[in-house]
Amino acid sequence: MTVILDGKALANKMQEDLANEVTEWKNKGYRIPTLVVILIGEDSASKVYVKNKEKSAQKIGFNSIVRRLDITIKEEDLLSIIESYNQDDSVDGILVQLPLPKHIDEEKVLLAIDPRKDVDGFHPLNVGKLFVGDPDMHPCTPYGIITLLKEHNIQLAGKKVVIIGRSNIVGKPLIHMMLNEDATVTIAHSKTKNLKNETLTADVLVAAIGQAEFITSDYVKEGAVVVDVGMNRNSEGKLVGDVDYQDVLPKVSAITPVPGGVGPMTITMLMEQTMNQGRKYCG
Ligand code: GUN
């Protein structure tokens, strides 16, 4: 029997728990956690992501501030807006939606966010803390993956984990999170030779490739756990992952669906990290 790693169900449960905690705080007269999301320009995917973050934050009962800025904003003006939120003690989390317009230096922006409020886990200090095995804020997608696997009691210690995709948002941070769980980690990418040779050794295979239904059953070891980070439209316009779900399903011991797997966990970890910040400074 294949276990379906239902991220939507776990995300709903975690968000309900957060909402209950916020209600308790309200009843006690505590300050409520505040999340600021900064959106620059009109990128349609970014607008959808930001809307979803806003909806979740509001459902939980956080103060949700979405700061929409014109695409022509000067870098120095953006940096001073970030600094004003850094200085504001009522703000617990600050997130700048990526990608940024070309005239703005992403590294400068990420460095400008107070690392304690960096609920996305992208500040170089937080990246470094994760690297040395002393994490504080985590990037939300890989954190969601680890949380989902742990919820299902999937052992990682001593297991061979193969990650396909070396992005700063998913693949690279996941290396360190898996290492922190005592897994043996391989990272593959577009220049990897004989990808199948790598994937067929995986006890846990994580696909973050960005190509619809790329991973078919011949890439997967019998009984493996498969985590699908992909979000693509197939030729019929249907939302699919990087894994050919129906083909792989009979061969694996556990798999994340798309939609309803990793996606809902990402937003939930953002909320969890905002709450965690509130746990330190509210009340
Ligand atoms: N753009 C795509 N994914 C993300 C994310 O997780 N955080 C931010 N800030 N921007 C993104």
CATH of the domain at 103: 3.40.50.10860
Q: How close is the Cα of 47 to the center of ligand 1, in Å?
A: 11
Q: How close is the Cα of 145 to the center of ligand 1, in Å?
A: 16
Residue 43 within a domain: yes
Q: How close is the Cα of 98 to the center of ligand 1, in Å?
A: 5
Angle, to 10 degrees, between the axis of helix 171-180 and the axis of helix 140-151?
Answer: 40
Q: Which domain CATH number covers 237?
A: 3.40.50.720
- Do 100 and 193 reside in the same domain of the chain? no
Residue 14 within a domain: no
Residue 188 within a domain: yes
- Do 106 and 146 reside in the same domain of the chain? no
End residue of a domain, out of 114, 149, 179: 114
Task: Give residue 270's pLDDT.
Answer: 98
Query: Which pTM value belongs to this model?
Result: 0.97
Residue 244 within a domain: yes
Task: Give residue 283's pLDDT.
Answer: 74
Q: Ligand 1, from 49, 106, 143: best to mutate by most atoms within 8 Å of Cβ? A: 49
Residue 16 within a domain: no
Run means of pLDDT, 10 residues per run, the chain, 283 residues: 97 98 96 97 96 98 98 98 98 97 98 98 98 97 98 98 98 98 98 98 98 98 98 94 98 98 98 96 82
Residue 103 within a domain: yes
Annotated binding-site residue? 165: yes
- Do 56 and 100 reside in the same domain of the chain? yes
Q: Is the CB of 95 under 6 A from ligand 1?
A: yes
Residue 10, token pair as written in the block: 């776990």
Residue 200, token pair as written in the block: 């067929």
Q: How close is the Cα of 10 to the center of ligand 1, in Å?
A: 21
Q: Is the CB of 97 under 6 A from ligand 1?
A: yes
**Ligand 1 nearest atom to the CA of residue 95, by list position:** 9
Annotated binding-site residue? 210: no
Task: Give residue 282's pLDDT.
Answer: 85
- Do 151 and 257 reside in the same domain of the chain? yes
Query: What CA–CA distance (Å, rounded) separates 201 from 148?
Result: 22
- Do 229 and 164 reside in the same domain of the chain? yes
- Do 145 and 96 reside in the same domain of the chain? no
- Do 144 and 110 reside in the same domain of the chain? no
**Ligand 1 nearest atom to the CA of residue 99, by list position:** 1
Residue 225 within a domain: yes
Report the number of distinct structural domains present in the chain. 2
Annotated binding-site residue? 190: no
Neighbours of 19 (CB within 10 A): 16
Domain interval for residue 186: 140-263
Q: Is the CB of 140 under 6 A from ligand 1?
A: yes
- Do 101 and 153 reside in the same domain of the chain? no
**CA 222 → CA 39, 64, 154, 158, 166, distances in Å?**
43, 45, 16, 18, 25
Q: Is the CB of 120 under 6 A from ligand 1?
A: yes
ipTM for the predicted complex: 0.93
Q: Is the CB of 242 under 6 A from ligand 1?
A: no
- Do 163 and 95 reside in the same domain of the chain? no
- Do 150 and 91 reside in the same domain of the chain? no
Q: Is the CB of 118 under 6 A from ligand 1?
A: no
Residue 3 within a domain: no
- Do 145 and 43 reside in the same domain of the chain? no
- Do 72 and 148 reside in the same domain of the chain? no
